[in-house]
Chains A and B, each alone.
Chain A
Amino acid sequence: MTAAASTTAEVLSVHDLVRHYSLGGGLPGRPRTRVPAVDGVSFTIPAGTTMALVGESGCGKSTTAKLILQLERPDRGEVRLQGERVDGASRASLNRLRRNVQMVFQDPYASLTPHLRVDAILGEPFKVHRICKAGEIAARVAGLIESVGLSADVGRRFPHELSGGQRQRIGIARALAVEPALVICDEPVSALDVSIRSQIVNLLLDLQASRGLAYLFISHDLGLVEHMSDSVAVMYLGRIVETAPASTFFAGPRHPYSAALLASSPTPDPRQRGRPAALRGEIASLVNLPSGCRFRTRCPLAIARCAESEPVLLPVGRGHLVACHRGEEMAGAAALPARPRSDPTGG
């Protein structure tokens, strides 16, 4: 793949993905309720770029990842890999998917088989996908270990003999074995300590630069998202409510929920306290979705119309889509109310 091709081609696109879960079935007097965990999600990730998926827990980020990987079958919608549709029922199609899309998990402790040595963990994908001859596996594994910045002796250890940062490096190495085009990183550094976190972030950036990897970066840390991403998609209760190039998004999000997320995420700067922030109330329940806009129960800008019809994603600028009846008026966080502040100078 040439450099030019890798920046223009899309590695992944999803179109109108829908996945409902059934809750509470089986018990007498309790009807089954269907909740829309992912409800009409569409986006495209160009090769070699990073798209961040942000939003609160339970909003559907991880379910979206599972649908892409066909670990769960979507009720509706399609996933395309390099333009070609992924067919969850065909072995050949699934094989192609597994060789092109890999995943790095939040919890490096839980994601590695505990009774296997690192060498064996990393050798597995080479065997499963018959990537090379049996005699070459050892050399390939050594290469992987080196590429994630670990020394060769790590190969003989068990996962519990590694630090959290080392384990996450092994998780990344395992994802790289098949030389994927896209790696889905689900909160890859949130279980790590600050001083280790930046090492892993740098590794992910280096691998992207050297291998032309694309990332779907699921994270709640907007500081990191700004640092890592080319584009951002914000999810709320199963739907994407805003998507934009990262620079556009961080310069001025247009959806009130995006603005609140940005304003609520604390900055490591005591001189920037009491910025506009703090949504009132909790995330609404998927079981009992409000009419109209799903965000209206918490939205400081809600008007009568918001209860009547659900806003759809509409373009408001270059590559910038917003699902809000008042998206045109919203210019950044300016319209949100301020919250009480603690004076850093004391008292």
Chain B
Amino acid sequence: MSRQGVAPGAGEPVLQLEGVEVRFPSPHGSFAVVDRLSLSVTRGEILGVVGESGCGKSMLARSIVGLVPPPGRTVGGAILFDGVDLVRLSPDERRRIRGDAIAVVPQEPMTSLNPTLRIGDQLTEVLRAHRPEMSRSQRRARALEVMEQVGIQFAGQRLAQYPHELSGGIRQRVMIAMALICGAVKLLIADEPTTALDVTIQAQILELFVRLQSEEQMTVILITHDLAVVAQTAHRVAVMYAGCIVELAPVLDLFDAPLHPYTRGLLETLPRRGASASKSHLATIAGAVPDLARPPAGCRFFNRCPHALAGICDAALPALEPVADERWVRCHRWRELPAVAAAAVGAAS
């Protein structure tokens, strides 16, 4: 395990997070919504980040681009992008990188577009900020080009339209076009890019991300609560729970042999395909997520975990440990658990 001490990752890193902490103030001191998180994102991969509402996915994305909403703050750690620590940059320097080398497709396309501005003006605005040397006609030409790249038909007409005149799917494509327009994006962060869309449109948008990654060698961080979406698109997956990564693995390993009890629980709750299981009970995860303002001393999954051992699991927060090639897990008992699960299956059959 030579990688111990290095941020969990796979190949050549484009982005490295080391102990990143996002905190919000509260009447009783402050609390972490992203808790000393370390992660390395490999150049040219699609990294899926999954987890339930409130687990810190969006705050993680926002801290990378320096957009944590006040009074929240990124208080600790380093975020190395191509070797430069983003946390230490001035707001101006950070703004220069954001929208240029790193772009974000935010969670709510409707609230992120300006309802009073035409699509064309919103797109070229990005260029005005990042490419002041371009002429008006060059900006317009680039806007048309990028709209076609993301599959927007009748791009010329769309430039003159307002956001409310577009369908949800086209609005989301406009957001992606806006992220790509400078033409220098190395890292694209998409926060729930398809949650508000119908499945046939979702399939088109996911296909677009896959194309950008494979044809343009873009690195994509895809944030979602939907395990099926990561199964369809990601190369590696980080599972988050209550501000922490609890498991990080290549996608096949994660779905074939999940190690963390939370990951297993999530996968087991999904309905099985095929009529045989129809109307049978789905597996459940008992209880609810702990209050982040008063996190438990030990494992954050303690109150819901079927394998929790008092005295061990609630004594200290387990570390995210390397367990095999490219696999990491945050659980005191991961070594024993495959055996526990096998015994349970044996007893049931």
**Any B CB within 8 A of the CB of A339:** yes
| B residues in contact with A268, CB < 8 Å | 227-228, 231, 255, 267, 270
Q: In whole angstroms, what is the CA distance A281 to B210 when docked?
A: 18
Bits for A260-291, please: 1 = Cβ < 8 Å to B, else 0.
11011111111101000111111100000000
**Any A CB within 8 A of the CB of B229:** yes
Q: How far is the CB of B118 from chain A (nearest CB, A)?
A: 20
Report A293-347 residues with CB < 8 Å from chain B CB. 339-342, 344-346
Q: Given A340-B211, A342-B210, A264 and B200 touching (CB < 8 A)? A: yes
Report B255-311 residues with CB < 8 Å from chain A CB. 255, 265-267, 269-275, 277-285, 288
**Any A CB within 8 A of the CB of B53:** yes
**Any A CB within 8 A of the CB of B133:** no
Query: Is B225 a contact of A267 with CB atoms below 8 Å?
Result: no
Query: Is A282 a contact of B201 with CB atoms below 8 Å?
Result: yes
Which of A28-36, A111-119, A191-199 lies at the interface with chain B?
A191-199
Q: In whole angstroms, what is the CA distance A213 to B277 when docked?
A: 20
**Any A CB within 8 A of the CB of B167:** yes
Most buried by A among B153, B211, B233: B233
Q: Given A195-B269, A339-B207, A266 and B275 touching (CB < 8 A)? A: no
**Any A CB within 8 A of the CB of B191:** no
**Any B CB within 8 A of the CB of A224:** yes
| A residues in contact with B252, CB < 8 Å | 270-271, 344-345
**Any B CB within 8 A of the CB of A87:** no
Query: Is A267 a contact of B200 with CB atoms below 8 Å?
Result: no
Which residue from A196, A205, A339 sits with its C-beta under 8 Å from B279? A205
**Any B CB within 8 A of the CB of A223:** yes
Q: In whole angstroms, what is the CA distance A56 to B281 when docked?
A: 27
**Any A CB within 8 A of the CB of B45:** yes
**Any B CB within 8 A of the CB of A67:** no
| A residues in contact with B282, CB < 8 Å | 198, 201-202, 227
Q: How large is the interface on A (under 10, 10 to 19, 20 to 34, 35 or more residues)?
A: 35 or more
Query: Is A342 a contact of B271 with CB atoms below 8 Å?
Result: no
Which residue from A196, A223, A247, A281 sits with its C-beta under 8 Å from B271? A223
Look across to chain A and name the residue whose beta carbon is closest to the beta carbon of B213: A342
Query: Is A193 a contact of B52 with CB atoms below 8 Å?
Result: yes
**Any B CB within 8 A of the CB of A163:** yes
**Any A CB within 8 A of the CB of B251:** yes
| B residues in contact with A196, CB < 8 Å | 288
**Any B CB within 8 A of the CB of A220:** yes
| B residues in contact with A220, CB < 8 Å | 198-199
**Any A CB within 8 A of the CB of B319:** no
Query: Is B203 a contact of A277 with CB atoms below 8 Å?
Result: yes
Query: Is A227 a contact of B284 with CB atoms below 8 Å?
Result: no
Which residue from A227, A264, A278 sits with its C-beta under 8 Å from B278? A227
Which residue from A247, A261, A264 sits with its C-beta under 8 Å from B275? A247
What's the A-B contact tally at a CB cutoff of 8 Å? 148
| A residues in contact with B233, CB < 8 Å | 342
Report B156-210 residues with CB < 8 Å from chain A CB. 167-170, 198-204, 206-207, 210
Look across to chain A and name the residue whose beta carbon is closest to the beta carbon of B232: A266
| B residues in contact with A227, CB < 8 Å | 271-272, 277-280, 282
Q: Given A194-B52, A264-B203, A202 and B281 touching (CB < 8 A)? A: yes
Q: In whole angstroms, what is the CA distance A128 to B344 when docked?
A: 50
Query: Is B214 a contact of A250 with CB atoms below 8 Å?
Result: no
Look across to chain B and name the residue whose beta carbon is closest to the beta carbon of A164: B53
**Any B CB within 8 A of the CB of A226:** yes
| B residues in contact with A246, CB < 8 Å | 275, 278
Query: Is A163 a contact of B288 with CB atoms below 8 Å?
Result: yes
**Any B CB within 8 A of the CB of A44:** no
**Any A CB within 8 A of the CB of B226:** yes
Report B216-239 residues with CB < 8 Å from chain A CB. 225-229, 231-235
Query: Is A283 a contact of B285 with CB atoms below 8 Å?
Result: no
Bits for A71-91, please: 1 = Cβ < 8 Å to B, else 0.
000000000000000000000
**Any B CB within 8 A of the CB of A137:** no
Q: In whole angstroms, what is the CA distance A220 to B228 when docked?
A: 14
**Any B CB within 8 A of the CB of A97:** no
Report B319-345 residues with CB < 8 Å from chain A CB. none
Name 8 interchain pairs, CB-CB below 8 A, sorted by A: A57-B168, A57-B198, A165-B288, A261-B199, A266-B229, A267-B228, A341-B210, A344-B251
Using a CB–CB distance below 8 Å, which chain B residues touch chain A?
45-46, 52-53, 153, 167-170, 198-204, 206-207, 210-211, 213-214, 225-229, 231-235, 250-252, 255, 265-267, 269-275, 277-285, 288
